[in-house]
């Protein structure tokens, strides 16, 4: 039996038909846990139905108009928001379906400008998160965003190396879980973000991290109250899924009936791909069997030959 939604969740559910899946998850988790959500202002502008033409693309004079529109829309639901003071630009990852794991400050106004929006139930918390973010106080910001201490420490440890690439920590989280058998905890499946909505918005220190799983559990609880059944279905896709990650050649996902066996889908379940033109997509279309030597070492067998995918840029995650 589905429990009755709490007042804070009810406010979010009123936005469920307006915002993106990720925004619904982010705000509901933040309100339930008393934390802060950080997303790009541009996503909120589109999600709230504010004309994209009003977005301050290189024109600072338009910024107050768009900020007032977002603030007014959210204040109707008792949600406070603060817009960051830094112009940023998203750096799109290669072959990941338009996803971005890196942002960088902009020195001058540009048509690609964006800003971070910090959303919370109380305005002081949103201001505090903005100040910590712009002061590069990552551990403080992590606490305000509700990221577990262990995952925040993990981020600080691997970010210097990851930021020199595409800023994606999925292979690092995989490496921390590689010695544990499949399936891993689906509530930590941040890699599901590439195919819709994920239970969490941060990279866990391990895909078996209990603290990260507890955060993901809040998203699943909130999803029970969303009247749109397709939202719960999309979130449920994080479970019973194999995700084959490569750093620059695309990402693939497929349903698995027995996660411990990690069978290649064949005709049983369709492949989902972040890029139809990527090297990985071309290889998988010819693959008939998959051998998993480790999460970072795979052999793909086609009808006529075989190809090995191995190394830190490869990660097979099964949830």
DSSP 228-274: -HHHHHHHHTTSSEEEEEESSS-EEEEE-SSTTT----TTTS--EES
For residue range 163-219, list pLDDT tens digits in order: 888 889 999 999 999 999 999 999 999 999 888 788 998 999 999 999 999 999 988
> If you average pLDDT over every residue of the chain, what do you get?
81
The one-character DSSP state at 296 is: T
CA distance 118 to 128: 9
Please give the model's pTM, rounded to 2 decimal places. Answer: 0.83
Least confident stretch, 10-14, 146-150, 267-271, 277-281: 10-14
User: Is 139 or 96 the better-scoring residue by pLDDT?
Assistant: 139
Which ranges of the chain does DSSP label H, i.e. alpha helix?
A: 7-13, 21-33, 41-47, 63-75, 123-134, 138-144, 149-162, 170-175, 210-223, 229-236, 279-286
For residue range 33-74, list pLDDT tens digits in order: 889 988 887 777 665 655 555 554 445 455 556 667 777 777
């Amino acid at each position: 039996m589905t429990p009755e939604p709490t007042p804070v969740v009810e406010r979010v559910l009123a936005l469920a038909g307006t915002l993106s899946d990720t925004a619904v998850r982010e705000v509901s988790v933040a309100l339930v846990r008393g934390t802060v959500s950080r997303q790009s202002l541009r996503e909120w502008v589109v999600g709230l139905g504010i004309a994209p033409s009003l977005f301050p693309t290189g024109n600072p004079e338009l910024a107050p108009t768009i900020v007032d529109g977002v603030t007014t829309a959210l204040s109707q639901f008792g949600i406070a928001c603060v817009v960051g003071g830094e112009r940023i630009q998203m750096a799109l990852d290669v072959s990941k379906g338009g996803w971005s794991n890196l942002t960088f400050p902009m020195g001058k106004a540009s048509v690609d400008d964006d800003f971070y929006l910090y959303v919370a139930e109380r305005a002081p918390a949103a201001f505090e998160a903005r100040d910590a973010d712009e002061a590069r106080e990552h551990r403080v910001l992590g606490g305000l965003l509700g990221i577990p201490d262990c995952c925040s420490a993990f981020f600080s440890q691997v970010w210097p190396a990851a930021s020199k690439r595409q800023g994606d920590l999925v292979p690092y989280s995989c490496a921390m879980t590689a010695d544990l058998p499949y399936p891993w905890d689906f509530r930590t499946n941040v890699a599901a973000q590439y195919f819709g909505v994920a239970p969490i918005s941060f990279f866990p220190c391990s895909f078996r991290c209990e603290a990260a799983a507890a955060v993901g559990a809040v998203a699943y609880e909130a999803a029970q109250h969303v009247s749109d059944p397709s939202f719960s279905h999309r979130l449920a896709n994080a479970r019973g899924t194999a995700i084959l990650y490569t750093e620059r050649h695309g990402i693939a996902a497929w349903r698995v009936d027995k996660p411990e066996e990690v069978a290649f889908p064949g005709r049983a379940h369709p492949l989902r791909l972040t890029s139809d033109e990527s090297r990985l997509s071309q290889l998988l279309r010819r693959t008939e069997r998959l051998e998993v030597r480790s999460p970072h070492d795979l052999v793909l067998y086609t009808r006529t030959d075989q190809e090995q995918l191995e190394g830190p840029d490869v990660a097979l995650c099964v949830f």
